[in-house]
Amino acid sequence: MISDALVKEFQILVGKDNVLESEVDKYAYSYDSAVLDPVAPGLVVRPTTSEALGRVVKLCNDNALPLTVRGAGTNLSGGTIPRKGGVVVLTNALSQILEINEADMYAIVQPGVITAKFAAAVAAKGLFYPPDPGSQAVSTLGGNVAENAGGLRGLKYGVTKDYVMGVEFFDVDGNLVKSGSRTVKCVTGLNLAQLMVGSEGTLGVFNSIILKLVPPPVAQKAMMAIFDDVNKASETVAAIIANKIVPATLEFMDNFTIRTVEDFSKAGLPVEAKALLLIEVDGHPVQVEEDAAKVEALCKEHGAQRIQVAKSAEERNKVWEARRAALSALARVSPTTVLEDATVPRSKIPAMISALEAIAKKYQLTIGTFGHAGDGNLHPTILTDRRNLEEWHRVEAAVDEIFDVALSLGGTLSGEHGIGMAKSRYMEKECGTGTILFSRKLKKALDPKSILNPGKILGD
């Protein structure tokens, strides 16, 4: 319970309109996109200036109040579900693009800037910000950095961490900490910027972020390869990578996903296909032609029945619309959609896909698998109804086994969704006790009262 006097102090810092204390308002910040139980905070505050943000952090620390920063609340691992009675700090009033520097190819943003709006502003200046998480239409850059968000372009362009040049953040005492710079090279001090990437709000609160921009590719070519056998498709993925071609995007869809997407979008997908690969190469026009020809040859060599190359921008859009519709279409099938993102080294994609099929059979579950095959990051999506407890237990067991398989193949628990609350209990399996202890010592030193998003990543 936060006292009236303390509520008043928050009101003085951020203004009365920006402190939400009614039961109803607070409950609306009790969840994110993860399939987890809601937890209502004790207070919600929405700072509109940097100064206020820093003071809010300090006020929380002075009163040992748990603090969870929230952008758009699209997190898939429970990273933005608050502590009971804690404070949710909204960043959506800190949404200014402070600078887009074309000469030096960087941008400085406040944490609440929407990813897609930023990418569009950058594109308008003739530059390119590649990270494109599925939630980009609403997600915030602060959230992207805190979760180290990925996307469809990870294979060639990398993920959010590859674009963070520097950060400014508040520590628990409200001091401003700076790391990194506007320069391409910078070895000044500890590399705190990269420590903050993917820290899920457990080490500090972002005030601003310096992001790297790159020149956009001049040409693109997209194609769809159709297979009558999942193994042939997954072997093709491994073969493309082994042949040292790096497509911008290399996506996979299984038969269940294809049929579901087609039912929903009527995009003309081949519903009889056992698997599809959606591939895009980009870069210099000559190289694009060359790479596209090689990819086409490799697909045929590995048993693709047919290959459709997009002949126009419109056809290219159609290919990607079909891919983007995958999660949406699957989500319509059943009340609860459990979207996993266990990731394996890309050469292990064939093994991972067969394992997923076996798991679906073993636990009698409907699993649609699609995702970023090119970077080893598949999204097995379990379609279920959480209210059916018996089935829900099978879902939990299946998820455990998906993690076990991914780890046994040399992979990782999460490619891009984060650990949050959903996967913290599996951490030790992947990293070992030493890693957990080290991380906890680090956390304890930086946040002695454990106010910053407690319980996330490292558990309690």
Partner 1 sequence: MADPKELLRLMRELDDQLVSCMRCGMCQAVCPVYAETGRETDVARGKIALLEGLARDMVKDAAGVKNRLDKCLLCGSCAANCPSGVKVLDIFLKARTILAGYLGLSPVKKAIFQGMLAHPRLFNSILGLAAKFQGIFTKPVNEMLGSSCSRVLSGAIGNRHFATLADKPLRTLVGALNTPAGKSGLKVAFYPGCLADKIFPRVGLAVIKVLNHHGVGIYLPEVQACCGIPALASGDMQTFEDLVAANVAFYGGADYDVLVTPCATCTSTIKKVWPTMSTGLAPATREKALAMAEKAMDINAFLVDKLGVAPVAPSQERAKGALKITYHDPCHLKKSLGVSTQPRTVLSQNPDYTLVEMAGCDSCCGCGGSFNLQHYEMSKHIGMVKRDNIAATGASVVATGCPACMLQITDMLSQAGDDIRVKHPVELYAEALP
Considering beta carbons, is residue 161 or 386 the nearer one to partner 1? 386
Q: Considering the complex, what minimum distance in angstroms separates the CB of residue 6 from partner 1?
A: 22
Q: Considering the complex, what minimum distance in angstroms separates the CB of residue 29 from partner 1?
A: 6
For residue 254, the cross-strand partners are: 275
Q: Considering the complex, what minimum distance in angstroms separates the CB of residue 88 from partner 1?
A: 10
Task: Map residue 243 onto helix, strand or coil.
Answer: coil
Residue type at position 19: V
Distance in angstroms between the alpha carbons of the first and the last residue of the chain: 21
CA distance 55 to 44: 15
Of 9, 15, 21, 30, which one interacts with partner 1 (CB under 8 A)?
30
Q: If we measure between CA atoms, which residue out of 2, 5, 33 comes closest to residue 336?
A: 33
Does 135 help bind partner 1 (rule: CB under 8 A)? yes
Does 22 help bind partner 1 (rule: CB under 8 A)? yes
| Number of residues this chain uses to bind partner 1 (CB under 8 A) | 37
Of 8, 16, 38, 98, which one interacts with partner 1 (CB under 8 A)?
38
Q: Is the dihedral of CA 153, 420, 71, 13 positive or negative?
A: negative
Q: What are phi and psi of 180, to 5 degrees?
A: 85, -175
- Token duo for residue 286: 């000559």
Does 448 help bind partner 1 (rule: CB under 8 A)? no
Q: What are phi and psi of 322, to 5 degrees?
A: -60, -45
**Window 174-213: contact mask with partner 1 (x via CB under 8 A):** ----------------------------------------
Q: Considering the complex, what minimum distance in angstroms separates the CB of residue 438 from partner 1?
A: 33
Task: Map residue 370 onto helix, strand or coil.
Answer: strand
Residue ranges in 82-121 that form contacts with partner 1 under rule CB under 8 A: 90, 92-93, 114, 116
Considering beta carbons, is residue 20 or 246 the nearer one to partner 1? 20
Span from 29-37, 155-163, 402-410, 427-435 in contact with partner 1 (CB under 8 A): 29-37
Residue ranges in 315-334 that form contacts with partner 1 under rule CB under 8 A: 327-328, 331-332
Length of the chain: 460
Task: Map residue 175 onto helix, strand or coil.
Answer: coil
Residue type at position 416: E
Does 337 help bind partner 1 (rule: CB under 8 A)? yes
Considering beta carbons, is residue 25 or 400 the nearer one to partner 1? 25
Q: Considering the complex, what minimum distance in angstroms separates the CB of residue 130 from partner 1?
A: 20
Q: From edge to edge, which strands make up the β-sheet containing 176-180? A: 97-101, 106-109, 205-212, 164-170, 176-180
Does 72 help bind partner 1 (rule: CB under 8 A)? yes
Q: Considering the complex, what minimum distance in angstroms separates the CB of residue 64 from partner 1?
A: 26
Q: Considering the complex, what minimum distance in angstroms separates the CB of residue 222 from partner 1?
A: 22
The DSSP output letter for 30 is: S
Does 133 help bind partner 1 (rule: CB under 8 A)? no
Task: Map residue 373 onto helix, strand or coil.
Answer: helix
Q: Considering the complex, what minimum distance in angstroms separates the CB of residue 92 from partner 1?
A: 4
User: Radius of gyration over alpha carbons of the chain, in Å?
Assistant: 23
Contacts for 445-448: CB closer than 8 Å, 24+ residues apart: 446/171, 446/172, 446/203, 446/204, 447/172, 447/202, 447/203, 448/172
DSSP strands (E only) in 134-214: 164-170, 176-180, 205-212
Q: Considering the complex, what minimum distance in angstroms separates the CB of residue 27 from partner 1?
A: 5
- Token duo for residue 400: 């455990």
Span from 50-58, 133-141, 280-288, 401-409 in contact with partner 1 (CB under 8 A): 133-141
Q: Considering the complex, what minimum distance in angstroms separates the CB of residue 397 from partner 1?
A: 22
For residue 67, the cross-strand partners are: 87, 452
For partner 1, the binding residues (CB under 8 A) are 20, 22-25, 27-33, 35, 38, 40, 46, 72-74, 90, 92-93, 114, 116, 135, 137-138, 327-328, 331-332, 335-337, 385-387
